Amino acid sequence: MAEFAWDAAPPLGGVFVAGRSGAAAGSPGVRLEERRGLSLVQVMAHRGKWPAVEAAAESLFKAKPPARPAALFADRATLVWSGPGQFLILGAGDGFADPLAPYAQAFREAASLSDQSDGRALIRVSGRHARDTLAKVSSLDLHPAVFPVGAAAATSVDHTNVGLWRAPDAADGAPVFDLLVFRSFAPSLWERLAASGAEYGVDSAAGDFSEAA
Amino acid sequence: MADIAHSPAALKRAEAEAAAKPRARGASQARRLAGGGLIDRQKPLSFTFDGKRMSGFAGDTLASALLASGVGLVARSFKYHRPRGVLTAGPEEPNALVELRTGARLEPNSKATTVELFDGLVAKSQNRWPSLRHDVGAVNGALSPLFVVGFYYKTFMWPPKAWEKLYEPAIRRAAGLGSASGVPDPDHYEKAWAHCDLLVVGSGPAGLSAALAAGRAGARVILCENDFMLGGRLLSDAFEIDGRSGAEWAQGAIDELAGMPNVRIMPRTTVFGGYDGGTYGAVERVGDHLPQPSEHQPRQRLWRIVAKRTVDASGAIERPLVFPGNDRPGVMMAGAVRTYLNRFAASPGRRVAVFTNNDDGWRTAQAVLAAGGEIAAVIDPRGVPEAFRMAAAGWRVIEGEVVGTKGTLDALTSVEVADARGGVVTVPCDVLAMSGGWNPAVGLSSFHRGRPVWKDEIAAFVPGKCPTGLTVAGAAKGDLSLGACLQEGFSAGAKAAVEAGLSGSPGEPAQAADEPVAVRALWEVKAPGKAGQKAGQKAFVDFQHDVTADDVRLAQREGFESVEHLKRYTTLGMATDQGKTSNVNGLAILAEAKGEKIPETGTTIYRPPQVPVAIAALAGPNRDEHFHATRLPPSHHWAAKRGAVFVDVGLWKRAQWYPLAHEKDWLESVNREVLAVRNGVGFCDVSTLGKIDVRGRDAGAFLDRVYINTFSSLAVGKARYGVMLREDGFVMDDGTTSRLAEDHYFVTTTTAKAGPVMQHLEFCRQALWPELDVQLASATDQWAQFSVAGLKTRDLLQNLVDPAEDLSNEGFPFMAAREVKLRGGMRARLFRISFSGELAFEIAVPARFGGSLAENLMQAGAAFGVTPYGTEALGTMRIEKGHAAGAELNGWTTAGDLGFGKMMSKKKDFIGRVMAGREELQRPDRPAVVGVKPLNPADRLRGGAHVLPRNAKLGPDTDQGFLTSVCFSPVLGRWIALALVARGRERHGEVVRIYDPLRNGDFEAELCNPVFYDPEGARQRG
Amino acid sequence: MRINCPFCGEREIGEFSYLGDAAPRRPAYAAEGPELAPEAEEAFFDFVYLRDNPAGEMREHWYHGGGCRAWLVVTRNTLTHEIRTTEPAPGAGASERAA
């Protein structure tokens, strides 16, 4: 029997065409990027074990995990709060290797881990009209004074759970937001974002998580 | 007095223009003043009204362009079809409603006073036939003694059957104002959120002052203005602020605000509602002023604005006077006359009479003179107020009241005035500017059940207890004079900034004098006039719904004494203008009729929206295929490529069947798919089933408490079917749960209940049993999980899994569950569970490989004729096996009804155990799941058909249940069904009557074992 | 309406769902065998069906399902919708409490 090929299909594969859409005049006001190739582990502390979780995270990432809504950009991963006693470890992954393996030992006594690498899609919204675009889908106040770099929220978009955080600004100073959404909803959310940004001009792209800043 | 419309510079410019191109466009704008106005005479616009070509300028409203073109008759009233003109210059307009645009964009009941003129605008009068000038419906006016208040309730009562067939269709044809387009709206709409420290509603002197103070202090400010131009009454009146004209000051304020990055100015935005927690609803008319919206822009945008503080500076609305003949075209609000003259340089008429009970009306006389018009008379029951003694020298002033009007269909020719000595004089004029005083706009401030309070000094209601966080400033608060508006707005803005925690300086408030605003209440003119008496002229209170002062009194006599009852009985204030010009007059007349004071009578309750909001704006982008978000399972693209037909299952799109080119209908495809599974092997994407990772030291104990059966005893590597109840004892959901590790269970739910079950489990974990160590994570989207079923399943899987894996009946027995390796280096989970009744496995790989899994299953099964199948075949096979699903787990069946009574553990507490034991839920005649097959195999069963005893008389007392799930069984070659039937389990073999009156079904069938196929279950264990 | 989630901060009502009165406590009863304590059914009947309907302050269960998935106890005035306090349900955030 021949070997079987396993091709990773990104959640938004075939959903959009990279390049310009919406208003054509001027430079695009918003950039939508699917960040592919995720490893995503949900860490859920055992009852009363948050201190142990902190210790384990520090040993792995040299940083305390967020205990309140926040995103932390550590050397090897991004840690994003996802609920009381919970956070997500975001890194690069090809889907073949078990994403829990690097962390299972450290958290063994402290937390339950759940593999979400294929359960979510990551969409990056950036550009000078990123906030205007997101205001059409999100009820959050994303004003820079209220939602600085590193702020995060577990929230809803279109009645769907979304993790939303602000990554460091782009080189041109424009804000950068990451939206983590259930994989099955991702095409629907992408279309809403593209439609919401259309009046500003949209630049769509796909990028690999491991290559992104 | 400085006059913005006639500033020297504007006048000179206008004269120069007029000299350059005399009468260039003036021919069609006979009533356009030669100079002045805040219109752009360099941008002429052309439009049509009732097919007639007319012109106006950028900056015009449709109403101002019609007035400038000399159009007096604009509309017909609702009930009596009376000729009506333009009454106001704002959103309170009751009369000048038109149908705007054509085709799919046609929009009825557009207020001409708020429609911003654009080139090519098409407007049509409405509520008339065959034309505005010759309207057959006007006969209603002659028959008005018949059309008394409560007419419908009193007249169309008998005979009862006539209502549906005769009266209602006739009334529906005659009633209603404009007509709808009848086709889908071609534009798109958006919703958006905004957040601020301070929301300012209205951009008149108070609103601009509030925004300036808060903006300078550093607060995040949103300034909403309903109009397309900011400034409020500063655009219409000749005011002086800080030594400049009001309009110039406003422009300066707007420029300053526009330069602040913390201030967002939103013109064409109406705040229509206030909600709990400082949330406000607003509609931004992004494209209403364009022939069609710009590409990529919505027609309208619905805003939800979250504000820490709100300043309501929405101003005041001028009150009409109630006198005989007060609805004739040419009778206008005095403030509106100033607006048309000063802001739009449009003259409603040359000879203007003013009828006022307050000082503000006198300013209209001054504006008329300044615009080169003529004062026919100023009529004021108070005589000449002290403040105007100088200005009024040489004017004809009558201390008295207007008691009748005369004119043609579209113009006023004279008014009858009863003077203080009892004489009646005729005053020729073409406009009557009336002012009954000003009502603060108390809509926004009275939401949340606030009740406005009466203020004698201005003879109007002012805001009472306001919603939390909202402050009212200026005219909206009843402080009508300019100086007060500026000061209050400023203070409110500065205070809001401090409360938002900002310490910047608000600067200095603008200064202006307080003009005289004295008023003496006059609710209704009763002195009889000759014309009024002879013609029996009506005195209107609600112009849009044709409610007169007599109607209000009649309603009161008939017992509708509460203001809420009056409103509903007479429809006063229930038209599209929501009584903005009529409510206070109506309840004042009611109070008088009852012999009460006005505050005793009180107001109706204010509720949002305070202006009509298009349903399309409320729906936003959620319409048609975007009505709700869509979820796509991992094999979606693969299935689409194969030409699958999709079905909506909740939010999911699932493959329903995979038609082949030669197949003539769905049933042929589905039968092929079922037989392919039963005789060979097939696969189906079941990733939509809810999947929950349940982890933690107490995971097993936790599941024992939420399922009727036991899971703590389940061995690692095994799966078990489970049923969950609600606490009231009825079934909530079912599914298989596998134990993957000592502290790791993998729970599956039905597709429909994934969300509710997660919520329920979180409740149990967090609210009921916080002592348990349990963690929950949704894993629904993580796994591409396919059911592989049929005789040849093992053969297929053997090709796909790593050769080291043992899939034999011993190595992987029924209900085993564990991780396996697949060829090509893929990790997977394999569960030996069967929904189809065949030898079956469910195989799961990370979702990104879902497409590959489908391809690889096709490849691995090619030799065995592997066939992908959809939800129809899945459903058919589960019905053939008698498995309960959504139609049986319908919220009112118990575990016993579904045949799971024996699964209910008696050794532990679990959710629903006690309530499920109630006597009523143990009754032997409860419905039970049973199979149904027609005696004549050709008879077609349909879901919902009733089950009755054989030969029973039809009736609810003989009804014993109904068919829940129906399919054509290709294995049995006939239609079969599952049904919930009283005592069903004891009645296998009994012949019953199947009755389906909606679809002409009435035949006999046999009740049977619901497991139609392989009742011993040998195949799935093989 | 806006609810101040103790974990997330203030959020709009659409992220939450309402369950109802937080006062009733699920009865505890012995359930080792087929026979239930005779008072169990009545106690559960109360727990499942009987609710006060106060005009004024009420402690209610709300679920922040559109956010952090915490169950909350919200003290809300049913007349004015004013919310006085929002607290986590006993097991929400249990990782930070002693085991």
CA distance B927 to B899: 10
Q: Residue A10 and residue B848: Cβ atoms within 8 Å?
A: yes
Task: Measure in Å the smallest separation between the Cα of A178 and chain B Cα atoms.
Answer: 19
Task: Measure in Å the smallest separation between the Cα of A75 and chain B Cα atoms.
Answer: 26
pLDDT tens per residue across span B564-587:
999 999 999 988 888 999 999 999
Q: pLDDT confidence of C92, banded at 50, 70, 90? A: very high
Q: Strand runs (DSSP E) across B299-399, as ranges?
A: 300-312, 316-318, 331-333, 351-356, 374-379, 397-398
Amino acid identity, residue B534? K
B740, β-bridge pairs: none
Q: Which of B295, B696, B824 sits opposite A112 (nearest CB)?
A: B696
Q: Angle at which helices B246-258 and B205-216 pack, to 10 degrees?
A: 30
A68–C contact, CB cutoff 8 A: yes
pLDDT tens per residue across span B126-159:
887 778 888 877 777 777 766 667 766 666 666 6
CA distance B760 to B913: 16
Instruction: Write the DSSP symbol of residue B680.
Output: S
Task: Give the Cα-Cα-Cα angle B280, B586, B175 (nearest 5 degrees).
Answer: 80
- Rounded to the nearest 5°, which phi and psi values hold at B633? -75, 165
Q: Strand runs (DSSP E) across B429-513, as ranges?
A: 431-435, 438-440, 453-455, 460-462, 470-472
Chains that touch B (3 or more CB pairs under 8 A): A, C
pLDDT tens per residue across span B630-665:
999 999 999 999 999 999 999 999 999 999 999 999
Q: Strand runs (DSSP E) across B573-670, as ranges?
A: 645-649, 652-657
pLDDT tens per residue across span B242-287:
999 999 999 999 999 999 999 999 999 999 999 999 999 999 999 9
pLDDT for B491 beyond 70: yes
Question: What is the SS3 assignment for C11-29?
Answer: EEHHHCEEEEECCCCCCCC
What per-residue confidence (pLDDT) applies to B839? 96
pLDDT tens per residue across span A33-59:
999 999 999 999 999 999 999 999 999
What per-residue confidence (pLDDT) applies to B173? 60
CA distance B695 to B777: 8
Residues in A closer than 8 angstroms to B697, CB to CB, are: 46
Q: A42: burial class by Cβ within 10 Å (0-12, 13-18, 19+)?
A: buried
CA distances from B737 to B734, B740, B819 (A): 9, 9, 15
Q: Which of B276, B727, B763 sits opposite C71 (nearest CB)?
A: B763
- What does the block give as tokens for B324? 């005989």
pLDDT tens per residue across span B922-950:
999 999 999 999 999 999 999 999 999 99
Number of A–C residue contacts, CB under 8 Å: 69
pLDDT for B730 beyond 90: yes
Task: Give the Cα-Cα-Cα angle A22, A28, A31 (nearest 5 degrees).
Answer: 90
What per-residue confidence (pLDDT) applies to A6? 97
Mean pLDDT value across chain B: 93
B921–A contact, CB cutoff 8 A: no
Task: Give the Cα-Cα-Cα angle B873, B879, B882 (nearest 5 degrees).
Answer: 145
* Beta carbons of A37 and A93 less than 8 angstroms apart: yes
Residue found under tokens 């040993």 = A59
Nearest Cα residue to B551 out of B78, B151, B76? B151
- ipTM summary value: 0.97
Task: Measure in Å the smallest separation between the Cα of C52 and chain B Cα atoms.
Answer: 18
User: What pTM does this model have?
Assistant: 0.94
Q: Residue B852 and residue A9: Cβ atoms within 8 Å?
A: yes
CA distance B31 to B42: 18
Radius of gyration of chain B measured on its C-alpha atoms:
38
Q: Which of C8, C14, C88 sits opposite A154 (nearest CB)?
A: C8
Q: Which of A96, A111, A135 sits opposite B193 (nearest CB)?
A: A135
Q: B181: burial class by Cβ within 10 Å (0-12, 13-18, 19+)?
A: middle
What per-residue confidence (pLDDT) applies to B28? 77
Task: Give the Cα-Cα-Cα angle B128, B131, B136 (nearest 5 degrees).
Answer: 55
- What does the block give as tokens for A24? 């054509």
Q: B748: burial class by Cβ within 10 Å (0-12, 13-18, 19+)?
A: buried
What per-residue confidence (pLDDT) applies to B234? 97
B779–A contact, CB cutoff 8 A: yes
Arithmetic mean of pLDDT, B29-57: 96
Q: State the DSSP H helix or E strand holding residue B66, giving kind and residue range, or none if neither.
A: helix B62-68
Start-end of H helices in B84-150: 139-142
Instruction: Write the DSSP symbol of residue B166.
Output: I
Q: State the DSSP H helix or E strand holding residue B679, giving kind and residue range, or none if neither.
A: helix B666-679
* Beta carbons of B203 and B232 less than 8 angstroms apart: yes
DSSP string, A1-46: -PPPP-PPPPTTTTT--SEEES--SSS-SEEEEEEESEEEEEEEEP
How do strand B40-49 and strand B121-125 relate by DSSP bridges? parallel
How do strand B438-440 and strand B316-318 relate by DSSP bridges? antiparallel
Residues in B closer than 8 angstroms to C29, CB to CB, are: 909, 914
Q: Residue B915 and residue C1: Cβ atoms within 8 Å?
A: no
For residues B660-685, b (16+ Cβ closer than 10 Å) or e, as one string?
eeeeeeeeebbbbbbbbbbbbbbbbb
CA distance C96 to C6: 14
pLDDT tens per residue across span A130-176:
999 999 999 999 999 999 999 999 999 999 999 999 999 999 999 99
Omega of the bond prior to B924 within 30 degrees of 0, cis? no
Q: State the DSSP H helix or E strand holding residue B263, giving kind and residue range, or none if neither.
A: strand B263-266
With a CB cutoff of 8 Å and minimum separation 6, the contacts of B743 are: A112, B695, B696, B697, B699
* Beta carbons of B718 and B694 less than 8 angstroms apart: no
Instruction: Write the DSSP symbol of residue B32.
Output: B
Q: Which of C26, C33, C89 sits opposite B906 (nearest CB)?
A: C33
CA distances from B607 to B203, B274, B451, B469 (A): 23, 9, 11, 18
pLDDT tens per residue across span C43-60:
999 999 999 999 999 999
Distance of CA C75 to the CA centre of its chain: 10
Query: Quick one: how many helices (H) and strands (E) in chain A?
Result: 4, 12
Q: Find which of A43, A68, A87, A139 to mutate to test the C interface (most C CBs within 10 Å of its CB).
A: A139
Arithmetic mean of pLDDT, A74-95: 94
Length of chain B, please? 1022
Terminal C-alpha separation, chain B: 102
How do strand B961-969 and strand B946-949 relate by DSSP bridges? antiparallel
How do strand B961-969 and strand B974-982 relate by DSSP bridges? antiparallel
CA distance A178 to A189: 13
CA distance B540 to B542: 6
C7–B contact, CB cutoff 8 A: no
How do strand B682-685 and strand B867-868 relate by DSSP bridges? parallel
CA distance C62 to C17: 6
Q: Which residue of A lies nearest to B286 if distances are taken between CA atoms?
A: A199
B980, β-bridge pairs: B929, B962
Determine what percent of chain C is predicted with pLDDT higher than 70: 97
CA distance B220 to B211: 10
* Beta carbons of B817 and B830 less than 8 angstroms apart: yes
Q: State the DSSP H helix or E strand holding residue B153, giving kind and residue range, or none if neither.
A: helix B151-155
Q: Residue A155 and residue C69: Cβ atoms within 8 Å?
A: no
Q: Which residue of C lies nearest to B904 if distances are taken between CA atoms?
A: C34
What per-residue confidence (pLDDT) applies to B27? 46
- What does the block give as tokens for B432? 């009557």
C61–B contact, CB cutoff 8 A: yes
pLDDT tens per residue across span A163-185:
999 999 999 999 999 999 999 99
CA distance B208 to B256: 10
Terminal C-alpha separation, chain C: 35
Q: B3: burial class by Cβ within 10 Å (0-12, 13-18, 19+)?
A: buried
